[in-house]
Structure 1
Amino acid sequence: MLVVSIVALMSFLGVLTETAMNTTFPTLMKNFGVSLATVQWVTSGYLLTAALVMLTSAYMKRRFTNRQLFTAAGLLFMLGDVLCATAGVFAQLLAGRIIQAGCVGLCTPLMVNIILEVVPRKKLGLYIGLANVIVLIAPALGPTFGGAVTAFASWRVIFWSTLPVAGLLMLGAGHIHQYSRPHRLAFDWLRFGLLGTALVALNLGLTAIGARQWGEAAAMLLGASVSFLWFLRRSRTSRRYLFALTVFKQPAFVFSFLPYLGLQFANVGLNFLLPNYVQDVFGATALIGGLILLPGSVFNGLGQPVYGWMLDRFGGGLPLLLGAGLFTLGDIIMAGLGPRLGVLGITLAYLLFAIGRSMAFSNSVAYGLKALPKDLQTDANALYNMGQQAIGGIGTTVLSLLMTAVHHPGWSQAQNAAAGSRLAFLLVGGLGIAIFALYCRLLKPQP
């Protein structure tokens, strides 16, 4: 746990600065004289870069030692800290954030890969849950940390304050040992470029849809499709390494990976929608809009070891099916009662949703990895992590589009927002039913 904690805390710093920066957008727009569409790339660029680095984690794990990967992650974080803290122009700040994304992109998969190497299969759920506590607390603390630092000091203190902590964690590199021999492998730059282009084009296309720029959206989505199809064609003949596509032939991976994406899609989307929902529909303040997520976020983080223990003790049926059921029930309550719930009712319904989602989310990975052959676990871990990063932005875009989709002439803004949000809740509820069905297929005994 010492080694896992050191790696997880470095990942924690990356996630903390990412979520803390979300509260600084108005200040950054004023300081650098840029628009909201430009400043949001501080987060979007970070997440895309992290997803692309995670995509290479299967190759990195086979090519380099654990200590080399951790050291590289720490140096990237510290370099990014210095660039961001001293940024005089927006381009320097964005460059620093993109460099820092390499820290999370390397450390988050490395944490799970080390667990896979040293922890017995029967305890994987518990140890992955314990590691996730450290990483998942960061999104709950980040907005409060960023808001307080910006209000009482300067947004630059976000980076100056985390720099010495990263330096202290770097001292722990000596405790990180190697459990498998690295090999020299030829990296498949073409496949990496094609898949990276597809992800970036998809993100830009969805952003264009949100701005109702239909021509640009169509061009980007077409480019994403062409790049992805070319990637698949290239994968049939390539002898260079990126990750093993044979993992998709394993039912345990497919039927845990798809629910994992669905849970992340819904979680990130509702985390964006609900604070805006209570402000538009109930006239709540921005502070109340943020606080309604707090109880669910606390259970999301602190419940992880318990949910992992449930998987190890009772098997996958209890945490996965119960989690999917609570996830769906919480969302159906929001879809069915909506404006009648009030702020407290929305908070309690989200708490139910968050408990179910977090119970199923990390256990999807743990159950899938437990069932896979040892030689495919690293490849599967790379895809779980990349998928988590890539699908979050899609969830935000889709649910925000639905929330603003209703424009009834005779209705108030609150009524239109409530009707549009109901469409989003219904979509997530249908997704929950699909996730439950996928889990039933996952838990079906294999011949």
Structure 2
Amino acid sequence: MIAVAAAAAFLATFNETFLNVAFTPIMDDFGVDVNTVQWLTTGYLLVAAVFVPVSNVLYHRFPTRPLFVAVVAIMVIGSVVGALAPSFTVLLIARLLQAIGTGLLTPIGMNITLAVSPREKLGMNMGIMAAMTTLGPSLAIVLSGALLTIAPWTTLMWVFSGLTVVVLLSGALILCNVAALGHPVLDIPSFLLVAVGLVGILYGVSAAFGGAALYAGISAVVGLVAMWMFVIRQRRIEHPLIDMRPFSNAPFVIGVLMTMLGLVFVFAMNVIIPLFLQSAREMSPLGASLTLAPGILLTVVAGPLAGRLFDRHGGRWSIPLGFLLMAVFVTMVGVAAGYSSILLFGVLYVPAVLATALVIGPSQTFALSQLDRETSPHGVTVVSTSFQIAGCVGTSLAAGIYGSLTASNIRAGNSEADSLLTGFRGAVALVVITSIIGIILAFLAYRSKRPVEAAQHPENTVESIMKTDVYTLSAEQTVLSALQTFTERGISGAPIVHPDGSLAGFLSDGDVMRYLSATHPSSTSIYSYAIGADDDLAQAMSDLASLNVMRLATRDVLTIDASSSIADAVAALSDANIKKVPVVRGENGPVVGIMSRSAINRLAIGSYLSSRDELLHPVGSGSHS
């Protein structure tokens, strides 16, 4: 079932960029300009964004298997209609049908994974889902470029319809119902308001670059009014389409905005680079897609690594660094576009797109980590919707700037090649500006996080239950003296600190045992003395007496801040499958405590017993003789 869900996530995101490389031949076939053709992506993402919140209602109202099959069937129909489309209008309608499937399918697949995954494998399975949603749009560009070298663009629609049929049959055979079914109600006015709002705002942005300033202004105003009415309605109805409570959390909002800015970069460049290379450099679709391929495929590998980096060290420096690298290297790509070397162009784009791995996933994690258990599901809906909206904005703005600057330069008498270069550099300037905004937001995010944490209930922080009597080791100690400390204090491991109190590493008796088993096989236990292995033990201990603790220590130590919530501590210990974690105060700050599973267990049991006692013996009650 998880494999089917992962395939569905891959399929949905794969189709978001599958047609990007085909924009040039589609423009030639239907006689449309870049501002019009970009709606094949913008409209797709827009409709998907509208239907993401709807998926939660449908998932809890209809059995999983028939719902899954019906949603994928919509995508099959859209693909066949698109392949046979006699006009651009019909092709756009077909893409919007596919988008309905995408908006519903991705969250349904995530819900299936959450429902069937064992707790100890949830992180791995969700990681698979994340990898599939990242691999989808990346692989789509490469595959579509290869297909377009040997077949017309309509082949893409037929290939996608074949893939959707395979997933449909797999779901029909494998899936079973996993949702707790009820009778949730879809609030139609809310659905219509958010649809009108998003369409109005995004059409206004697109029309502004097309020269229709009046229509753009009217559309944008209508969209903003509809969104304002949508927000008001969500706060008044019992079952809102999107719960607004997460928006009262400033760090969450900033985290969502940072995620969206990273996605704007990706979608803008995925549209503009193939257009520019095919139009200005007369490259084939395959050549254009292969220029993008190394960077975006490496991002699939970099994403999990960046997530692990965030888990261990937070995003205080990595997120702004990611935005900075995006700005610097995409600027260099804009400069390289004026030269003849495509190799230089492609090489410079690799670090630019790799830097998005430091931004998108970590920013999303930062945003969701700011919410409590009650509001987290609503935060997931907000983040999922923001993904699609960011894709719309990035595609629409980049294509609009590229098209309008190119057209204005041609009208001014410049050559077509120079005009296309100016349009491309205008789109590059857009993502540089958004990256600079991202740097500012990254610093604001962590500045806003600290007061929020301090203002929260202090009894719910790590500091309130951590063990403050911490036995530490010096980075200059020997392993034998560390073992002596373990024996005297009755502990199995301890943090190693520098002279200034900052964390240098962590040493456990397990680290020592692994070393002994490799270097002194007969002394795999320091208690071998008990079975008469005197000589072996003496030799092993002599070795440990001259060995520095940092030789065996774990240097890349997972830590948690003293002001973090207990929920964060639970997640850290569970995800890393460890029993205790050093507590520090501030980034790279001193070790101030140890957080353990046993402390959390005592808190949980104590809270339960206290609440049970209050229930059995309410305050003010008494016995009567």
Gaps of 5+ in 2: 457-625
Q: Distance in 1 between matches of 2:26 and 2:68?
A: 31
- The answer (yes or no) to whether the contact 1:82–1:160 under 8 Å persists in 2 is yes
**Relative to structure 1, is the Cα distance of residues 159 and 336 closer, same or farther in structure 2, using a 3 angstrom cutoff?**
closer
Displacement after TM superposition at 1:221 (Å): 1.0
Displacement after TM superposition at 1:384 (Å): 1.4
| Corresponding residue number in structure 1 for 2:147 | 149
| Corresponding residue number in structure 1 for 2:265 | 266
Matches within 5 A, 1:214-225: 214-225=213-224
- The answer (yes or no) to whether the contact 1:69–1:106 under 8 Å persists in 2 is no
**Relative to structure 1, is the Cα distance of residues 373 and 432 closer, same or farther in structure 2, using a 3 angstrom cutoff?**
closer
Displacement after TM superposition at 1:400 (Å): 4.9
Query: Greater helix share, 1 or 2?
Result: 1
SS at match of 1:292: helix
- The answer (yes or no) to whether the contact 2:10–2:136 under 8 Å persists in 1 is yes
Q: Distance in 2 between matches of 1:385 and 1:252?
A: 17
Are 2:292 and 1:293 aligned? yes
**Relative to structure 1, is the Cα distance of residues 256 and 67 closer, same or farther in structure 2, using a 3 angstrom cutoff?**
farther
Query: Greater strand share, 1 or 2?
Result: 2
| Corresponding residue number in structure 2 for 1:381 | 380
| Corresponding residue number in structure 1 for 2:92 | 94
Displacement after TM superposition at 1:388 (Å): 1.3
Are 2:36 and 1:54 aligned? no
Are 2:67 and 1:69 aligned? yes
Q: Distance in 1 between matches of 2:352 and 2:100?
A: 31
Percent identity over paired residues = 24
**Relative to structure 1, is the Cα distance of residues 82 and 54 closer, same or farther in structure 2, using a 3 angstrom cutoff?**
same
Q: Distance in 2 between matches of 1:153 and 1:101?
A: 24
- The answer (yes or no) to whether the contact 2:207–2:213 under 8 Å persists in 1 is yes
Are 2:337 and 1:331 aligned? no
| Corresponding residue number in structure 1 for 2:371 | 372
**Relative to structure 1, is the Cα distance of residues 350 and 436 closer, same or farther in structure 2, using a 3 angstrom cutoff?**
farther
Matches within 5 A, 1:181-220: 181-220=180-219
Larger mean Cα displacement after TM superposition, 269-278 or 298-307: 269-278
Displacement after TM superposition at 1:338 (Å): 5.0
Q: Give the TM-score taking structure 2 as reference length.
A: 0.62
Amino acid at match of 1:55: P
Q: Give the TM-score taking structure 1 as reference length.
A: 0.83
Matches within 5 A, 1:76-87: 76-87=74-85
Displacement after TM superposition at 1:12 (Å): 2.4
Displacement after TM superposition at 1:189 (Å): 0.9
Displacement after TM superposition at 1:331 (Å): 1.4
Q: Distance in 1 between matches of 2:216 and 2:383?
A: 27
Q: Distance in 2 between matches of 1:56 and 1:390?
A: 15
Q: 1:432 aligns with which of 434, 438, 441?
A: 438
Displacement after TM superposition at 1:68 (Å): 4.0
- Residues 40-73 of structure 1: CA deviation (Å, up to 9, x unaligned): 4433332221111113233334433443432222
Amino acid at match of 1:386: T
Larger mean Cα displacement after TM superposition, 13-22 or 259-268: 13-22
Amino acid at match of 1:69: L
Are 2:226 and 1:227 aligned? yes
Amino acid at match of 2:138: A
**Relative to structure 1, is the Cα distance of residues 394 and 40 closer, same or farther in structure 2, using a 3 angstrom cutoff?**
closer
**Relative to structure 1, is the Cα distance of residues 373 and 59 closer, same or farther in structure 2, using a 3 angstrom cutoff?**
farther
- The answer (yes or no) to whether the contact 1:248–1:254 under 8 Å persists in 2 is yes
Are 2:397 and 1:398 aligned? yes
Displacement after TM superposition at 1:177 (Å): 4.6
- The answer (yes or no) to whether the contact 1:198–1:224 under 8 Å persists in 2 is yes
Are 2:166 and 1:160 aligned? no
Amino acid at match of 1:328: L
SS at match of 1:152: coil
- Residues 314-354 of structure 1: CA deviation (Å, up to 9, x unaligned): 15x15x74244133124124437952696555434432222
**Relative to structure 1, is the Cα distance of residues 280 and 27 closer, same or farther in structure 2, using a 3 angstrom cutoff?**
closer
| Corresponding residue number in structure 2 for 1:242 | 241
**Relative to structure 1, is the Cα distance of residues 219 and 15 closer, same or farther in structure 2, using a 3 angstrom cutoff?**
same
Q: Distance in 2 between matches of 1:151 and 1:429?
A: 34
Displacement after TM superposition at 1:298 (Å): 0.9
Displacement after TM superposition at 1:198 (Å): 0.8
Q: Distance in 1 between matches of 2:284 and 2:321?
A: 30
SS at match of 1:187: coil
Q: Distance in 1 between matches of 2:67 and 2:369?
A: 24
- The answer (yes or no) to whether the contact 2:319–2:358 under 8 Å persists in 1 is yes
**Structure number with bigger Rg:** 2
